[in-house]
Amino acid sequence: MDSGTDLTPADCPAANGMPMLGLGTWQNTDPDQCADSIRTALEMGYRHVDTAQGYDNEEYVGRGIADADVDREDVFLATKVSTSNLAHDDVLETTEESLGKLGVDAVDLLYVHWPVNTYDAEETLAAFDELYDDGLIRNVGVSNFEPRHLEEAVDLLDAPLFANQVECHPLLPQEELRSVCADLDVELVAYSPLARGEVFDVPEIQSVAEKHEASEAQVSLAWLREKGVTAIPKATGEDHLSDNWASLEVELDREDLEKIDGLEEVHREVDPEMAPWN
């Protein structure tokens, strides 16, 4: 598999206008490295960038977007409201702060980071509706929501619920959640789509990667795309950015999908005690 540098943004499929391969920025907190990785990714062809208030890097992400030779309006930019900021007025205030740090007038997607701590479905989602109506956010999202939380949110929101961002990868396929999201017309966005490196050690994924002369990361990202899931792998160096981007060239056949779908190991990487599934 080549470096993927010949691929263009048009080669990346989109889900309701959201590019299905994006860049995650968790733990990317070095100011210069973060800004440079964002700029590099955008100039490589990425058009979807994901951050969060809790990542403490919104300012650096914004700098990277400003430094890139790419129009802001061509970038699908997402951030998340921290669990300590989910009271109604705090949502409004901290989102304005996030926009200032990012250097933008609006974000394309704003998520509730977790349905815990100060989250109150009625109050929190009412604030998201206000932001949507005021044009400060273009889509409403949630993260780490279980089916019951999703159904409640859909009922309470006036705005459409656009996406649910959760951990998803071949070792945590999230079949039930994918089905519920499909029924509710909610996109699924996968964080930790490479299971924090665990996919590299799975013999079945190694076998498919060898067959396609691809990396295990590329195969895992292609598998998610085949399932209709948007992936936002974290990467900072140009090599990893390029390797992930080149996953757009990998086309899995039915045999490949069956081999990966048959994995019996289930492994959750992000499992805090506060998580709604615990």
Q: Which of these is catalytic: 55, 60, 111, 119? A: 55
| Residue among 186, 91, 174 nearest 139 (CA) | 186
Q: What angle do CA 122, 127, 128 make, to 5 degrees?
A: 100
46 is catalytic: no
Q: Which helix (H) or strand (E) holds 71?
A: none
Report d(CA 274, CA 163) in Å as an integer: 21
Distances (CA, A) of 24 to 60, 86, 226, 235, 262: 13, 22, 20, 7, 27
Is the Cα dihedral 194, 200, 204, 206 positive or negative? Answer: positive
Report d(CA 263, CA 258) in Å as an integer: 9
Decide if 165 contacts 177 (C-beta within 8 A).
no
User: What is the separation of C-alpha 188 from the centre of its chain, rounded to a whole number of angstroms?
Assistant: 8
Report d(CA 150, CA 186) in Å as an integer: 9
- Nearest-Å Rg of the Cα atoms of the chain is 18
Catalytic residues: 55
